[in-house]
Structure formats: structure tokens, C-alpha cells
Amino acid sequence: MGVFVFLPLVLPLTALPVARLAELHLHPRVATRLLSALAAVLAVCSTLCLGLLVVVGTAQLPGNPLPDAWSDPEVREAVPYDEIAGKAAIVALAAVAVGCLTAAWRHRRVRRSAQEALAGLPGGELAVLADEAPYAYALPGPGPSRTEPGDGTGAAAGTRGRIVVSTGMLACLDDQERDALIAHERAHLAGRHHRFLLTVRLAARANPLLRPLRTAVAYTSERWADEEAARVTGERTVVARAIGKAALVSRGTPAPTLAGFAAPSPGPVPRRVAALLGPAPTAVHWPSVRTAVGLAVWAAAAGTVGSALSSANAMVTLFLVLQAATPF
């Protein structure tokens, strides 16, 4: 297996430049899907790499993870061995498991609590909470089905979930801006943005080097919803104004994996407003390799494929070693 088994652990170092180029130059819909897919594949390969290191690095230690059927000393001698890497991988793999389970549990708990809080309210897609604190977010899950005319850009039919908004937030916006808010949150539900956000959050827990992708997807998913709101309302300036107003007073969402209207972060909001005040982005599905962003995207895709092949090669190699040394 050699040093190539470590490749999936270090390839996420490319996440920062790729995330930066994608969020600046790709259509936000394409960027969200691409970066989420990269994060998921790299996280799986990274975790698989740790698992293989646990096996091959502790093959000759008492209490190792090899099955009892492979307990013959000759088999253990045939398996590659690195005690330091094996012990470190055990700690890292345990940290990954705890981090991912904690993030998934918190996401589920927040969603359930939010849905229970809406249980006594009248039915409908929009849930208005009598709360002076200004906030608005999309809550996926059981809710009315809604059919919207779409063009394949993400605001498709069959939206499931509810739009949660406080009276404090509505008081900050005029009628046009409220329409922009609802269109924005509806786009989050239609595009299932919470799935992308949860994916990259779990990926970042699996490998901290993937945190730039988590930050980038949080931004591009909001930009995706911004563009959908601008398309539906036909007023890019109104959407930009609504986001700016909401950002000044909003306290965000109850969980990072729930998409909100305008988080109180000083960084992405001005960029979102500036993008809305400019022309709509071109819906390019895959950039040309002749451009800087295209070259970066193709390099990221090649690196991801290399990471997956490296992990598969390590698995197959270990399997063949055990198969040759042990009768099944």
C-alpha cells in the first residue's frame, strides 16, 4: 500500500483554493452541488483511510481489529504494520465518529424542537411566530406540498417544509421585501439546501481540512436562494435591500445546517448584496479547462478521483493479502 494510503488525508488541502474560486466564478447552484460532492467524497475517503490504518497499523498488537479467523501469526506477519500510525489512527477515527454523531444528533434535535414549536400554529407553508427577535429560516420536513413553475434551476415543484419567520423580522421589511424573504426561503426548501449544509458540516467533522468547503457551501447556498428570489420577484434590488436590512438585525438560525435569510455575519452579506446589484450569473454547468476556475475545478475533480482510487487500492491490497494468507 505504501505512502499512497495517506493520500486521502492530505488531498483536502486543495479545498481552500478550490472553494474560493468556485464561490467567486461558478453559478451558485453549480458551486453548491460541486463543492458538496467534493466534500462528501473526500470525507469518505479520509475516514476509510483512517480505518485501513487502524487495521494495518495494529495488526501485530494485542486486541487488534482483525477477525479471530485471521489470528494466525503468519497472517499478521503478512499484513503491513506501523504501530505509530495505527495508534494515531485509532484516536483520530474515534474523534471523527464522536464529531459526526454529535453534529448529526444536534441537527436532528434542533429540527425536532423547531417542528414541535410549530405544532400549535395554523397549517400552511408560512409559520409566523410572535417574537420580537428578528429571524427567518427554512425548516425542512413535514409540511404542505407546493407546486411552483420552475425552469430546472432549483425552485422546482413539490416543496416540502415550512418557512419560519418572526413578527420582529416582518416588522423590519416592507411588502416587497417580505415577498423577497418568502421567495428566498422557498428556494431553500425547493433546493433541499439543508442537505448540502449538513453534508459539508459532517465532512468538516471527518476532516478539518475540509472546513473551507463548509464555509463556501454556506455562502453559495445563500447565493443560490438569492438568485432564485430575484428570478421569482423580478427585483434584484429589492432582494438585496431585504438581505441588507435583515442582516443588521438578524440573530441567525437555530442550527448551522438550517438555511436562514441573512446571518449576522459581516463577511458574506456584503458580497451577496454586491452580487445582487450586479447582473445575474451565467448558468454555466461546467467551466472550460482553459479558464483559471475551470482548471481548478478539473484539478479538484482529478484529485478527488485519485483519492477514491487510492482508498480502493488500499482496500483491495489488504483484502488480497488476507485472502492469500487465509483460506475463506
**Span 29-56, average pLDDT:** 84
CA–CA separation, 314 and 52 (whole Å): 8
- On whether the CB atoms of residues 217 and 257 are closer than 8 A, the answer is no
CA–CA separation, 283 and 280 (whole Å): 9
The residues that bridge with 166 in the sheet, in sequence order, are 129
Range of the domain at 174: 2-325
Q: What is the pLDDT of residue 237?
A: 93
Q: What is the pTM of this model?
A: 0.80
Confidence check: pLDDT of 199 > 90? yes
CA–CA separation, 168 and 249 (whole Å): 9
Q: What confidence tier does 158 reach under pLDDT thresholds 50, 70, 90?
A: very low
Q: What is the pLDDT of residue 263?
A: 65
Q: What 3-state DSSP class applies to 124?
A: coil
DSSP E strands in the chain: the ranges are 126-129, 136-140, 161-166
Q: pLDDT, tens digit, for every residue of 81-97? A: 566 777 788 888 899 99
Most confident residue range from 78-82, 158-162, 170-174, 245-249: 170-174
Number of domains in the chain: 1
The residue to which cell 467534493 is assigned:
38
- On whether the CB atoms of residues 45 and 310 are closer than 8 A, the answer is yes
The amino acid present at 245, given as its one-letter code, is K
